Amino acid sequence: MDVENLIIVSVDDHVVEPPTMFDQHLSIQHNAIKPSVQKDANGADFWLFEGRRAGNIGLNAVVGRMREEYGCEPVSFEQMRKGSWDLDARIEDMNANGILSSVNFPSVVRFDGELFHHFTDKAAALTLLRAYNDWHIDEWCGRYPGRNIPNAIVPYWDIDETVKEIARVAKKGCHAISFSDNPALRGQPSIHDDYWEPLWKACADHQIVINLHIGSGAAAPHASMASPIDAWIVTMPISIVNSAADWLWLKAIQKYPLKIALSEGGIGWIPYFLERSDFTYAHHRAWTHSDFGKKKPSEVFREHFMTCFIDDAFGLKNLDAIGEDNVAYECDYPHSDSVWPESADLLMKTLGELPDAQVDKITHLNALKLYQFDALGMMGGRENCTTGALRKLASHINTDPVSFGGPAPLAPGETARVVTSGDITKMFAQVRAYDDQLGAEELAAAQ
């Protein structure tokens, strides 16, 4: 198979929420709680939720920048490639990249909707969360059929409302939720607590995929503040490993036909993870009393889990140890790991000599089956879905890297040196401190 005939579905991308997100999805009676986008004296755009400034609006939305600026975090919509937040521009960038369909995770409301968990007024939080889902499903995913795959967030601070929201979005054609990989780190019960039983049943009843994005609970720790930031970036994907083991030992996946996606987690570590899981179960179950029935943990993993990769030749060389039905592709647009606009060409090289049947599974069939998304049908047939066909639609799109400017991790005029975890941590801390300390006069003016 050549690159022009690939059909590519990405199971991990991100949307920077546009200023118009709530315009069509809140009634007049909710105007008092409607969030808004403001611009501060430094030119930074920010959201106001419940009278408080949300975090950096364009966190890591650096696609299209010169790589020398990858340490810069956009602080305004003008400092991002338009496809980060504008749907029409996103579709054009998907075409230019040869990507047919995409699963998108939130940004300012956080991967699992955690922002709403911190609201004082939980009734308002629930209203806004539902409005977010309506915008995401009806606008971001609905306006271009076949292109964006719905991925809802749920109010999991309230299990009854979570079950209701799952039923509601399922009726709208959404078959996925973004959930914390470790809700215990969000102040909620462990996934092993009976509290979550209604959630597991609802996901099974409505055939809902549970997306666990890296950083939605557990996080890759910095080795030290003096460590090169590269060391932290290396460990980001595999930081999901602890949560993957936790979910693999979840009794509910033996009770229900749950489907769990380890979003942005990579695949190269999976063979050893499965080997270690089988060894641990066989060697320790006599005293731990774990019970997988007549199956091995690796077998249960292959029945319930989906993994994904951006560039993972080692993982694909060991595909038989992972499972050809358990691997999908991710683009990660507009984050810094994304190789846009060269995703299709680099993916073709990474696929190597895999047979066409496996290529089709990895590039799109596994993802479309998992999310019950008939992209090919909605697009009018395979001939309209290939990398070649999509790229032809984007021949007018400029994909050359550009300078967007913005804050840098090193001080102005500082001699170039290795960027450390401390540099990045300090930069983010300054942003958070400014958000938290927004003066009363500025806040009143913004409102």
What are the start-end ranges of the E strands in 201-309? 209-213, 259-263, 305-309
Cβ of 372: how many Cβ atoms within 10 Å? Answer: 14
Interval 54-96: pLDDT, tens = 877 777 899 999 998 887 778 899 999 999 999 999 999 999 9
CB 109 within 8 A of CB 132: yes
Interval 186-212: pLDDT, tens = 999 999 999 999 999 999 999 999 999
What local confidence, expressed as pLDDT, does residue 57 receive?
A: 77
For range 323-346, the mean pLDDT: 98
Unique residue bearing structure tokens 């019950």: 372
What local confidence, expressed as pLDDT, does residue 432 receive?
A: 58
Beta-bridge mates of residue 211: 178, 261
C-alpha–C-alpha distance, residues 151 and 128, integer Å: 16
Collapsing DSSP to helix, strand or coil, 179 comes out as: strand
C-alpha–C-alpha distance, residues 225 and 138, integer Å: 43
Amino acid in the structure at residue 240: I
Q: Edge-to-edge, what's the strand order for the sheet holding 52-53?
A: 36-39, 45-49, 52-53
Please say if the pLDDT value at position 131 is more than 50: yes
Residue 141: pLDDT band with limits 50, 70, 90: very high
| Mean pLDDT estimate for the chain | 93
What local confidence, expressed as pLDDT, does residue 423 receive?
A: 86
What local confidence, expressed as pLDDT, does residue 58 receive?
A: 76
What local confidence, expressed as pLDDT, does residue 374 receive?
A: 98
Please say if the pLDDT value at position 326 is more than 90: yes
Nearest residue to 51 (alpha-carbon basis) of 114, 110, 106, 128: 128
Helix axes 197-205, 159-171, angle to 10 degrees: 10
Collapsing DSSP to helix, strand or coil, 95 comes out as: helix
User: Would the pTM count as exceeding 0.75?
Assistant: yes
Q: Classify each residue of 402-424 as buried b or exposed e, where b means 16 or more C-beta atoms within 10 Å of its C-beta.
A: eebebbbbeeeeeeeeebbbbbb
Compute CA distances 329 → 12, 263, 346, 366, whole Å.
8, 10, 12, 9
Cis amide prior to 19 (ω within 30 degrees): no
Interval 386-436: pLDDT, tens = 999 999 999 999 999 998 875 566 667 777 789 899 988 887 776 555 555
E strand or H helix at 125: helix 122-134
CB 142 within 8 A of CB 116: no
Amino acid in the structure at residue 182: N
The CATH topology of domain 9-446 is: TIM Barrel (3.20.20)
Helix axes 241-248, 297-304, angle to 10 degrees: 100
CB 70 within 8 A of CB 336: yes
Please say if the pLDDT value at position 322 is more than 80: yes
